[in-house]
Amino acid sequence: MTTASAPGKLMLLGEHAVVYGQPCLVTAVDLRYFVTIERTDDEYVQVIAPDLVGSTEARNVPVREIGKQFIKETAYVEAVIAEFYDKYGVSTGLRVSTRGPAKSYGLGSSSAVSAATVMALAKEFGLVLSNKEMFDIAYASVLKIQRGKASGFDVASAIYGGLLYYRTGGTQIDSIQTTQLPIVIGYSGTKVGTVSLVEQVATLQKRHSEVIDTVYNTIGRLVEAAKHSLSEQDWHQFGELMNINQGFLDALGVNTAKLSSLIYSARDAGAFGAKLSGAGGGDCMFAITDSASRDSVIEAIQNAGGMVLDLEVNAGGVRIE
């Protein structure tokens, strides 16, 4: 029996543009998901995922059917198993159980579960895989579920951990060394599916291709500049670039009034910068602030109706427990 765990993620800069070849910056967050895998003698993959499904009832899928029939909640676990079985010619029965935080806040439960599943499988079947090999398996399976519309930044974050500069498909995955980010994370309380937001932005791009391509390019440039400010730990400059990025996300149509209210409250309370994180439409925002303004920024986000999440960033990547 093997258990592996992987962290959630927080997109710092570059969301949406990353799907179209631009770089992004992402940090792993200490919201860990655990996957336990045990080989069995029967011909079923049994998945018990109370945190994902909301019940302790097991889902039984015949090994030969794995990856062919999904339910939304356990799709990522099963897709990784299917990808792994296919690649390594395995057809063994399995018992798989997952454990995670009660709420994911849009901080990457699917990617964390995918990363933990691939590492637990590799260990259980005696394979030593590099981070990139695990990434390739998990990313291929995520792509199948998300209809080809995923950059994979969240999978890379769950596997490598820390702070990453990332390009779509894992063509570039660079670790950035920095001290802890002076960050405050706020949850807006609402959620829209990532795939539908990515499709919404793709539709906008089709209608205004030159304009939106320019937006993507500019986001790419500001990510490069922000990478530099991260290495210099120039939080003032990093904050300014976050604010510019937020303006472009608004232009892409993925901001909401609630997120805006949290973001402007944080800025008014003295944050260097504040922006939404991820696909938009809800979920989280974050602010970068010096220690003098930290308490006021937290209070401002709470007063605007946000829930401040006390999470460590720069968390460790996937590991065997």
Q: Is 154 a catalytic residue?
A: yes
Instruction: State yes or no: residue 11 binds ligand MEV (CB under 6 A).
Output: yes
Contacts of 127 (CB under 8 A, 6+ apart): 88
- Which of 112, 137, 150, 222 is in the footprint of ligand MEV by CB under 6 A? 150
Instruction: State yes or no: residue 15 binds ligand MEV (CB under 6 A).
Output: yes
Closest distance between ligand MEV and the C-beta of residue 148, in Å?
10
Instruction: State yes or no: residue 122 binds ligand MEV (CB under 6 A).
Output: no
Choose the binding region for ligand MEV from 15-23, 216-224, 265-273, 295-303 (rule: CB under 6 A).
Answer: 15-23
Binding mask 232-271 for ligand MEV (x = CB under 6 A): ----------------------------------------
Contacts of 193 (CB under 8 A, 6+ apart): none
Choose the binding region for ligand MEV from 63-71, 84-92, 94-102, 148-156 (rule: CB under 6 A).
Answer: 148-156
Q: For residue 68, what is the DSSP state?
A: T
Q: For residue 70, what is the DSSP state?
A: -
Choose the binding region for ligand MEV from 41-49, 132-140, 149-157, 222-230 (rule: CB under 6 A).
Answer: 149-157
Whole-number Å distance between alpha carbons of 218 and 215: 5
Provide the 3-class DSSP secondary structure of residue 207.
helix
Size of the site for ligand MEV (CB under 6 A): 12
Q: Which of 51, 136, 154, 283 is catalytic?
A: 154
| Nearest CB to ligand MEV, comparing residues 77 and 279 | 279
Closest distance between ligand MEV and the C-beta of residue 85, in Å?
25
Binding mask 45-84 for ligand MEV (x = CB under 6 A): ----------------------------------------
Instruction: State yes or no: residue 227 binds ligand MEV (CB under 6 A).
Output: no
User: How many alpha carbons fall within 13 Å on the CB side of residue 315?
Assistant: 24
Provide the 3-class DSSP secondary structure of residue 181.
coil
Binding mask 84-113 for ligand MEV (x = CB under 6 A): ------------------------------
C-alpha to C-alpha distances, 151 to 71, 145, 213, nearest whole angstrom: 22, 13, 17
Closest CA to 312 of 22, 82, 90, 28: 28
Instruction: State yes or no: residue 198 binds ligand MEV (CB under 6 A).
Output: yes
| Token pair belonging to 58 | 């097991």
Whole-number Å distance between alpha carbons of 297 and 267: 8
* Three-point CA angle 109, 67, 33, nearest 5°: 20
**Angle (deg, nearest 10), helices 153-160 and 131-145:** 150
**How remote is the C-alpha of 103 from its chain's centroid?**
14
Chain residues in the site for ligand MEV (CB under 6 A): 11, 15-16, 18-19, 150-151, 153, 194, 198, 278-279
Catalytic residues: 154
